[in-house]
Amino acid sequence: MSTATNTFENVKATILLAHKSSTSREKSNFYNSWANNYDQDVAVLDYRAPSLAANSISSHFSGNREAAVVLDVACGTGLVAKQMRRHGFGHFVGIDGSDAMLELARKSGLYQDLKLSMLGDEPLPVQWGLFDVVVIVGALSLGQVPVDVVRELCKSTKPGGYVCMTTRSNLTNKEYKAALERELKQMEEEGLWACVEVTEVEDWERAVSEQEDGYISGAVYMYKKL
């Protein structure tokens, strides 16, 4: 891809188009069309969420990493699995709503299994209580995945396993983040999991909304299934 087309302004326009997709079909079509340029575009944004999530998981997981089964929800092209592989994890199952993204994830050679599923429209197509680690990066935000999907993430995790989630903390995602944190706390009060760590990160990625400049902030949530 030429640098002439892979500019910040062009990437910004692409991201803003994503926010206009409202139906599941529109979202799927958008990500299918974006797949081939996705990795280069998010690199232009200095998108740090995959590495931040992988670092958080690595700092808390004390089991056999090569044997651990990781569910990568909204896996996209495989950026999170790539980062986790560097920390010694080796068994990945990926779920995404875009055929084109899954094809690129397949070509990465990182995943033992990949499943097509539109989050929020249908239950996660996995066995409950199977995974040592469940991770979702980038999809818990306004216009993407509904907050109540986190309950399915918890159900998918083994007792004693970890769930790692990220969200943005910028102005346009403020209400979503508040709703997400209420749900996470409610699930903790129900005895479903325990909060291990919440990390607020100032330089999450470059801002793309018209109301913000510079970098936006974000958060990484680590929970342990009880």
Could you tell me if 23 and 129 lie in one domain? no
Could you tell me if 60 and 20 lie in one domain? no
Domain assignment of residue 1, yes or no: no
Mean pLDDT of 149-155: 98
The mean of the pLDDT values for the chain is 94
Q: What is the pLDDT of residue 3?
A: 43
pLDDT band at 210, cuts 50/70/90?
confident
Domain assignment of residue 210, yes or no: yes
Domain assignment of residue 3, yes or no: no
Could you tell me if 23 and 113 lie in one domain? no
> What does the alpha-carbon distance between residue 183 and residue 41 come to, in Å, rounded to a whole number?
31
Mean pLDDT of 44-55: 97
Q: What is the pLDDT of residues 11-47, one digit of tens each?
A: 988 887 777 777 888 889 999 999 999 999 999 999 9
Q: What is the pLDDT of residue 41?
A: 94
What is the percent of the chain with per-residue pLDDT over 90, rounded to a whole number?
Answer: 84
> What does the alpha-carbon distance between residue 61 and residue 147 come to, in Å, rounded to a whole number?
25
Could you tell me if 76 and 176 lie in one domain? yes
Could you tell me if 16 and 54 lie in one domain? no
Could you tell me if 137 and 37 lie in one domain? no
Report the amino acid identity of residue 32. Answer: N
Q: What is the pLDDT of residue 5?
A: 60
The pLDDT of residue 53 is above 80: yes
Q: What is the pLDDT of residue 4?
A: 42
Q: What is the pLDDT of residues 66-124, one digit of tens each?
A: 999 999 999 999 999 999 999 999 999 999 999 999 999 999 999 999 999 999 899 99
Could you tell me if 147 and 219 lie in one domain? yes
Could you tell me if 20 and 72 lie in one domain? no
> What does the alpha-carbon distance between residue 38 and residue 18 come to, in Å, rounded to a whole number?
12
Could you tell me if 24 and 84 lie in one domain? no
Mean pLDDT of 146-161: 98
The pLDDT of residue 193 is above 50: yes
- Domain range for 122 is 49-225
The pLDDT of residue 192 is above 50: yes
Mean pLDDT of 174-196: 98
> What does the alpha-carbon distance between residue 155 and residue 210 come to, in Å, rounded to a whole number?
38
- 111-116/91-96 β-pairing: parallel
Q: What is the pLDDT of residue 18?
A: 73
Do the Cβ atoms of 70 and 131 come closer than 8 Å? Answer: yes
Domain count, the chain: 2
Structure token digits, residue 141: 């935000």
pTM of structure: 0.95
The pLDDT of residue 226 is above 60: yes
Could you tell me if 21 and 55 lie in one domain? no
